[in-house]
Amino acid sequence: MCGIFGAYSPMGKKVLEDVYLGLYALQHRGQEAAGVAWVNSQGRISSIKGAGLVHLALNQAELAAVETSCAIGHVRYSTAGGSELANAQPLTASTSKTSLAVAHNGNLTNAGGIKLFLENRGAIFHSATDTEVILHLMAHQPHKESLDALLDSLTRLRGAYSLAMVVGQDLVAARDPWGFRPLVIGQRDDVFYVSSETCALNLVGASVVREVQPGEVVIFGRKGMDSIPIPVEVKRRYGCAFEFVYFARPDSVISGRSVYEVRKELGRKLADRAPCPEAHLATGMPDSGTIAALGYAEKSATPYEQTVVRNRYVGRTFIEPTQRVRELGVRIKLNPITEVLSGKNVVVVDDSIVRGTTCQRMISMIKACGANQVHVRISSPPVRFPCYYGIDTPTRVELAAARMNLRQLEREVGADSLSYITEEDLIEAIGLPCGEVCTACFSGQYMEGGEDHEPEL
Contact 363, 332 (CB under 8 A): no
Q: Which of 2, 199, 369, 441 is catalytic?
A: 2
Q: Nearest Cα to 394, choosing from 440, 321, 456, 316?
A: 456
Contact 262, 280 (CB under 8 A): no
SS3 303: coil
Residues 6+ apart with CB under 8 A from 328: none
Which CA distances in Å does 179 have to 23, 105, 426? 21, 12, 18
Contact 389, 240 (CB under 8 A): yes
Contact 23, 32 (CB under 8 A): no
Which CA distances in Å does 331 have to 311, 326, 432? 9, 10, 38
User: Annotated catalytic, 199?
Assistant: no
Q: Rounded CA gap, 257 and 334, in Å?
A: 30
Beta strands in 98-223 (DSSP E): 99-105, 162-167, 170-175, 184-188, 191-195, 207-211, 216-221
Q: Rounded CA gap, 309 and 205, in Å?
A: 32
Catalytically active residues, by annotation? 2
